[in-house]
Structure 1
Amino acid sequence: MSCSPKIMDLGLLKFEHIKEIDELCDEWVPESLIPPLTEEMQREPPMLESAAGPHAIINGKEVVNFASANYLGLIGHEKLLESCSSALEKYGVGSCGPRGFYGTIDVHLDCEARIAKFLGTPDSILYSYGLSTVFSAIPAFCKRGDIIVVDEGVHWGIQNGLHLSRSTIVYFKHNDMESLRSTLEKITAENKRAKKLRRYIVVEAVYQNSGQIAPLDEIIRLKEKYRFRVLLDESNSFGALGSSGRGLTEYYGVPIEKIDIVTAAMGHALATEGGFCTGSARVIDHQRLSSSAYVFSASLPPYLASAAITAIDVLEENPDLIKKLKENIARLWKGLSDIPGLSIASNAESPIVFLKLEKSTGSIKNDLTLLEEIADRVLKEDSVFVVASKRSTLDKCRLAVGIRLFVSAGHSESDLQKASGSLKRVAAQVLKS
């Protein structure tokens, strides 16, 4: 029985269609699971081979280290090492369990009480990792529908917390109080329900991405006028600002109870790890039940909590550490005040000295290339370790990139002179060409 011409045509069409699909499959090249390696990705970063103190070993060579936020110079301090050793002998390395299950050890409670006593707050709560402190605290209090007004220059940890909160995020210009005022005014005027919503202002005491100090007195005035709460990240000010290192509130003479939520990482001035949040008993109790990094993460190793207690003791017993830090900041500022092609963007009393290009190339990538060349040559030629403020693809900070120097009370006058002299010479050569 012969097939009709119509059926034969349909069969031919089907055959041609299958043939075309086969050819397309043969030609198809699947997209790589990972992006191709660029020259930048293959660049080997400097390798640290010692503790990250004022002097460190990088790639087998001793260097002056301005890349670590060791503000009080406590890394490697004898009392901290003794405290860690004693805690290791007594507790081991920790329970590896969350605080609410079987991870709470007496030294955690002692550390929380010590921080609260030092800052003059009712209570505090410890976190196991510095960065997770703020990006866990934010979504613990801020939910979908809430309004968060935030400085455009905040670091990635805060950005991540904002994303996790699913709140309505409104940015204001970096450290610009007129921009903050107009933003709060607009939100209050446009949203008739605003008074019924939870509303927050989120700022850093010392901005990691610029070295600027937040004008807390003005922030408090605006907070009270427009009825917002304030979350303040003191990671780079705790132990570094104020006459006794109690941070931005002491620096401005503002009662700490005017700040609703204070967070800080302990890996900077205290030379340990972990973080804390401090405030009213209600603020702290709420986090013990609803903050993901506290509820689900293994508790802070007890030797690190012990080191934090000892670091605060050392700070209180040695007020000259704060004085020496301030003197070192002033010396470095003076040495870098006329650096060719670069300008200081940070506050004169900030422990972060931030250098940015006087004339941008118009491209963040090209700006970074210039800054990294300066940093590389300073390390190679003069054994001074500084870093450019390189950001990940997830970091949405809108500020200019720069070279960031973390000043330490452990730096000597010759260290500061060496750094400023080297940066001046290399910047003049690189930016001139």
Structure 2
Amino acid sequence: MLSEPPVLESAAGPHTIINGKEVVNFASANYLGFVGHDKLLESCTSALEKYGVGSCGPRGFYGTIDVHLDCEARIANFLGTHDSILYSYGLSTLFSAIPCFCKKGDIIVVDEGVHWGIQNGLYLSRSTIVYFKHNDMDSLEKTLEKITALNKRAKKLRRYIVVESVYQNSGQIAPLDKIIKLKEKYRFRVLLDETNSFGVLGRTGRGLTEYCGVPIEKIDIVTAAMGHALATEGGFCTGSARVIDHQRLSSSGYVFSASLPPYLASAAITAIDILQQNPDLTSKLKENIAILWKGLSDIRGLSIASNPESPIVFLVLEKSTGSMKSDLQLLEDIADRALKQESIFVMASKRSTLDKCPLPVGIRLFVSSAHSEFDLLKACESLKRVAAAMLR
């Protein structure tokens, strides 16, 4: 309660201003550098002039505006799915989509490292939740095999596997090709959260399915928040027409919440257009990830837990203090010193008391294609100096 988080005094771009001082920002998931992009600002301005700030009503009553339908069609067209549905808040996508399809008595097999938004969606579903070891396909297969063997009625129940494409709590990338093989073998459905991979992974930024060479039709439900790569707000769910139509009638976050402000939907359309016209954005992001990964690979007292191609570079303590609370305090002290002494803005992976994720806490760096090589090298050198001073 006594914690005072840093307060930004400018846009959360690759550089931002905190306490009157310009710092290099690695705390915002601005993967494609779209924060403050001229075309997005123009799109928002014209939408504001045409529609105002919002409709002040749910989609099913008087909250649907043509730009919402355009955005849903644009997302579906980009990903190659039948249809999409927009939510007005990123986390509410998961709070709503999971309980919409999963009910009491259903079985959900989920990675133990999923973020709190998924955890809350699981809780609200009242389904039977079974966790498997983080990104461990042997553990997943044993879990699926055990569930199928123990529950003779399993074929009559709805059964789901829930995973993230890029895990927010570790920076690891899910091996989707292996997950699909297990899904088909044991006859489960898959819900995939693409929040940290949409616009990032794959040759053209179409996410984990493109990255792993898996047809998107093999994924039953795909969700994502738009507050990361697209630099707007809201979330979407995409898939078959049947999946989307069901949510329009039964998903609480869609039926009862005020619709997404139209200027944010307009910004999302523009962001996808820019991404398609500039495929080099994802290439530049990959180059920046490689530079930061290489520069931090030998940092004293810390190790990289994330995948080398993940836009989240996740640093964990090599030697834990023995307490997650103490580990987190040490990591927060490192982040605080990096900000005050080195003008590098990074954040420890602080979690809510409601968050049941068992994975180690760490320092999370969000890489952007808008970071310059100088920014990346400065971050590496600065964090090494701070770690050397504090982790002796």
Q: Pick the TM interval, shorter chain.
A: over 0.9
CA apart distance, 1:134: 1.1
Q: Which residue of 2 aligns with 1:56?
A: 16
Q: Which residue of 2 aligns with 1:116?
A: 76
**Residue in structure 2 matching 1:421, options 375, 381, 391:** 381
Does residue 298 in structure 1 map to residue 264 in structure 2?
Answer: no
Q: Distance in 1 between matches of 2:3 and 2:228?
A: 27
Q: Which residue of 2 aligns with 1:139?
A: 99
**Residue in structure 1 matching 2:52, options 72, 86, 92:** 92
Q: Distance in 2 between matches of 1:103 and 1:164?
A: 25
Does residue 218 in structure 1 map to residue 193 in structure 2?
Answer: no
Q: Which residue of 2 aligns with 1:311?
A: 271
Does residue 350 in structure 1 map to residue 317 in structure 2?
Answer: no
Gaps of 5+ in 2: none
Give the 3-state SS of the residue equivalent to 2:162 in structure 1. Answer: strand
Give TM-score scaled by structure 2 length. 1.00
Q: Which residue of 2 aligns with 1:239?
A: 199
- The aligned runs of 1:261-410 (5 Å cut-off) are 261-410=221-370
CA apart distance, 1:135: 1.6
Give the 3-state SS of the residue equivalent to 2:307 in structure 1. Answer: coil
Does residue 168 in structure 1 map to residue 131 in structure 2?
Answer: no
Q: Distance in 2 between matches of 1:85 and 1:274?
A: 18
Q: Distance in 2 between matches of 1:274 and 1:365?
A: 32
Give the 3-state SS of the residue equivalent to 2:391 in structure 1. Answer: helix
The CA deviation string for residues 120-159 of structure 1, in whole angstroms up to 9 with x for no partner, is 0000000000111012100000000000000000000000
Q: Distance in 2 between matches of 1:396 and 1:258?
A: 29
The CA deviation string for residues 73-99 of structure 1, in whole angstroms up to 9 with x for no partner, is 000000000000000000001111000
- 8 Å CA contact 1:79–1:310 kept in 2: the answer is yes
Q: Distance in 2 between matches of 1:48 and 1:133?
A: 27
Structural RMSD (CA): 0.4
Q: Which residue of 2 aligns with 1:126?
A: 86
In the alignment, residue 268 of structure 1 is paired with which amino acid?
Answer: H
- The aligned runs of 1:182-193 (5 Å cut-off) are 182-193=142-153
Does residue 78 in structure 1 map to residue 38 in structure 2?
Answer: yes
Gaps of 5+ in 1: 1-40
The CA deviation string for residues 277-320 of structure 1, in whole angstroms up to 9 with x for no partner, is 00000000000000000000000000000000000000001111
Q: Distance in 1 between matches of 2:28 and 2:332?
A: 17
CA apart distance, 1:44: 1.5
Q: Distance in 1 between matches of 2:123 and 2:233?
A: 24
Give the 3-state SS of the residue equivalent to 1:232 in structure 2. Answer: strand
CA apart distance, 1:218: 0.3
Q: Which residue of 2 aligns with 1:199?
A: 159
CA apart distance, 1:43: 2.5
Q: Distance in 1 between matches of 2:105 and 2:329?
A: 41
The CA deviation string for residues 373-429 of structure 1, in whole angstroms up to 9 with x for no partner, is 110000001100000000010000010000000000000000000111111110111
Give TM-score scaled by structure 1 length. 0.90
In the alignment, residue 246 of structure 1 is paired with which amino acid?
Answer: R
Q: Distance in 2 between matches of 1:109 and 1:369?
A: 46
In the alignment, residue 356 of structure 1 is paired with which amino acid?
Answer: V
Give aligned-pair identity as a percent. 86
CA apart distance, 1:195: 0.8
Q: Distance in 1 between matches of 2:225 and 2:106?
A: 25
In the alignment, residue 220 of structure 1 is paired with which amino acid?
Answer: I
In the alignment, residue 166 of structure 1 is paired with which amino acid?
Answer: R
Q: Which residue of 1 aligns with 2:112?
A: 152
Q: Distance in 2 between matches of 1:43 and 1:422?
A: 24
Q: Distance in 2 between matches of 1:252 and 1:169?
A: 27
- 8 Å CA contact 1:370–1:431 kept in 2: the answer is no
In the alignment, residue 66 of structure 1 is paired with which amino acid?
Answer: F
**Residue in structure 2 matching 1:179, options 139, 144, 151:** 139
The CA deviation string for residues 188-237 of structure 1, in whole angstroms up to 9 with x for no partner, is 00110111100000000000000000000000000000000000000000
The CA deviation string for residues 139-183 of structure 1, in whole angstroms up to 9 with x for no partner, is 000000000000000000000000000000000000000000000
In the alignment, residue 401 of structure 1 is paired with which amino acid?
Answer: V
Give 1 or 2 for the bigger CA radius of gyration: 1
Give the 3-state SS of the residue equivalent to 1:405 in structure 2. Answer: strand
Q: Distance in 2 between matches of 1:428 and 1:82?
A: 45
Q: Distance in 1 between matches of 2:353 and 2:19?
A: 27
Q: Distance in 1 between matches of 2:160 and 2:3?
A: 41
